[in-house]
Structures are given as structure tokens and as C-alpha cells.
Amino acid sequence: MPDLQSEAAKDFAVSAARALHEGKGFDVDVLDVRNVTLIADYFVIASGSSVRHVKGLADRVLYSPESTRKPMHVEGYQLGTWILLDYGDVVIHIFREAERSFYGLERLWGDAPTVEFS
């Protein structure tokens, strides 16, 4: 029997990834971390070219007309170099390029399979 809650999390992660891609976010990845950590089911990771771009990408997810979900926690919005949107089962990381390269979340969670979203 399919896990409906996990399927809803995947659908939301894919929807967020598409919104980030459509907002000209680059290197957008969706990682299925269900078998790697208890933190969340999915991570969405994207990059923006500037602080303004990173904030704009976060706004696309936060204020998307398609989404009825609201984050449990938002971190880093004021600084705008790494914004974390925590939806519980989905955590969205939006980085400026330099910060993404420095922190290397894909390397840290390298055992997690990626999910296609296009």
C-alpha cells in the first residue's frame, strides 16, 4: 500500500523544484533522503546568482498560488545567502552559488537518490 503522506511530500518537493527552475534557479536537485536521515523525506536544493535572486526564488515557493502549505520555519531570509524553508517532510535549501559550493549538501547527502522533476 502506498504511503500517501510520503507521496504528498514528493509531489510538493517536485512542485517546489519546478517553481525554482521556472524562476531561473539553477542546479535544482530533489534528493530522496527518506532512507538516509530522519530530518525530512525530501530535500530540494537550488542556487541563485545573487542575494536578490535567492530571495526571489524563496518567494516563488513561499507565495506560490498552487501551494496551500506554509513552512514550519524559515531561516536565513534576511541575509539571503542560504535560505532554508522547513516544511517538515520537505526542506528547501536555496543558496547563493558560493555558499552552495562551500557547504556541499549534495556531497553530504550523496547516498540519497535524486528525483526527476522536469
Contact assessment for residue 29 and residue 42, using Cβ atoms and an 8 Å cutoff: no
Instruction: Kindly state whether residue 114 falls inside one of the protein's structural domains.
Output: no
Instruction: Kindly state whether residue 87 falls inside one of the protein's structural domains.
Output: yes
CATH code of the domain in which 76 resides = 3.30.460.10
Q: What is the pTM of this model?
A: 0.92
Instruction: Kindly state whether residue 118 falls inside one of the protein's structural domains.
Output: no
What residues in the chain have per-residue pLDDT under 50?
1
Q: What is the structure's pLDDT at 1?
A: 44
Task: Map residue 79 onto helix, strand or coil.
Answer: coil
**101-118: per-residue pLDDT in tens?**
999 988 888 889 999 987
Instruction: Kindly state whether residue 117 falls inside one of the protein's structural domains.
Output: no
In the chain, the percentage of residues whose pLDDT exceeds 90 is 82
Instruction: Tell me the residue range of the domain where 8 lies.
Output: 4-108
Residues with Cβ within 8 Å of residue 94, at least 6 apart in sequence: 20, 25, 45, 46, 47, 48, 54, 57, 58, 61, 82, 83, 84, 85
Q: What is the structure's pLDDT at 2?
A: 56
Number of domains in the chain: 1
Instruction: Kindly state whether residue 44 falls inside one of the protein's structural domains.
Output: yes
